Structure 1
């Protein structure tokens, strides 16, 4: 049974334990084992605690076959920075990668609408840039930064988006399940 490292910011949510448990159940229904570390005796001091969690997560990633990451924007217009690290870590290990987002909009749309409040336009160099800072609006028809989508897709995975319309709530696992199905199909074809 393939071991999946389920990445995402759900640990920060009040109902995060429930969401994580539901993801594990769904993973098993698709023939995967949700891989995670067992709660252990971690140090009480804040920095040491953080380092212990980081080390434990990296050990679990090394022991996983693939990552399935929640790239729904978290505290901004992009995926959770820890989740982005985990995607990169797994890709660097040569592991398979899949992802999903409950926000149907591409990255450039979120940048334009949410970050710049529509205040963007073409600059002298032909790039679309924010009026306030002159920064380029990255538009590659991707869910997030091209390095995240690119790393996943280059390994044969994909990033599943919610259907057009409103952003789905974090607790809605329908798009997560579509990503699980894609991973299952990919592994079945590979065998």
Structure 2
């Protein structure tokens, strides 16, 4: 996580996950080995994250737009990795504007319907307009695994701190996965 109080936020998320009956894994739980270069350090962090994901049974991904109009690219990779493993997938976003609305904003209202029936920016590029929280592959991967994307509008200063939607994902995942396993 990139927050100045990342450990505090991770600890809160871990406690919430445990309270719903899950055993969470978090990249903040493992020490990154010393390396000679920044590149090697980045590769070490990537290997740790992949190892943690390989040990996990599901994912709850934070799709809140990060440094732009879409989810963090690392989170998108993680979601794809877990979907490729066939794991249940859930996600949340503390932004209620859909992907199309956010991308349209980049063009300052200059999006037009093209002759092909697709929305296009002044640069000619088509915009996805599927009423989805993020790129159709992220929403689609979650839906294909009987997951859900929970969105909430929060105050701008709470964008990465408010865990209400995260907790809703935990509750939904517990209902769908833990209760189903208990009745089997």
TM-score, with normalisation over the residues of structure 2?
0.91
Alignment partner of 2:109 out of 110, 114, 118: 118
8 A Cα contact 2:64 2:159, kept in partner: no
| Cα distance change on mapping 1:188 and 1:33 into 2, 3 Å | closer
Root-mean-square deviation (CA, aligned residues, Å) is 1.5
Q: Which residue of 2 aligns with 1:183?
A: 173
Alignment of 1:89-168 (within 5 A): 89-113=81-105, 115-131=106-122, 133-163=123-153
Alignment partner of 1:79 out of 71, 86, 103: 71
- Following superposition, the deviation at residue 124 of structure 1 comes to 1.4
- CA deviation string 1:147-175 (max 9, x = no partner): 00100110111111115x76652111111
Runs of 5+ unmatched residues, structure 2: none
Q: Distance in 2 between matches of 1:41 and 1:137?
A: 42
8 A Cα contact 2:32 2:44, kept in partner: no
Q: Which has the higher helix share?
A: 2
Runs of 5+ unmatched residues, structure 1: 1-10
- CA deviation string 1:53-84 (max 9, x = no partner): 10111011010000110000001100000000
Q: Which residue of 2 aligns with 1:4?
A: none
Query: Secondary structure of the residue that 1:160 maps to in structure 2?
Result: strand
8 A Cα contact 1:68 1:98, kept in partner: yes
Alignment partner of 2:56 out of 50, 60, 64: 64
Query: Secondary structure of the residue that 1:41 maps to in structure 2?
Result: coil
- Following superposition, the deviation at residue 18 of structure 1 comes to 1.4
Which deviates more from structure 2 when the two are superposed, residues 34-43 or residues 181-190? 34-43
8 A Cα contact 2:90 2:148, kept in partner: yes
Question: Between Structure 1 and Structure 2, how many residues are aligned?
Answer: 178
- Following superposition, the deviation at residue 44 of structure 1 comes to 4.1
- Following superposition, the deviation at residue 176 of structure 1 comes to 0.7
Alignment partner of 2:161 out of 171, 175, 186: 171
Q: Which residue of 2 aligns with 1:3?
A: none
Query: Secondary structure of the residue that 2:165 maps to in structure 1?
Result: helix
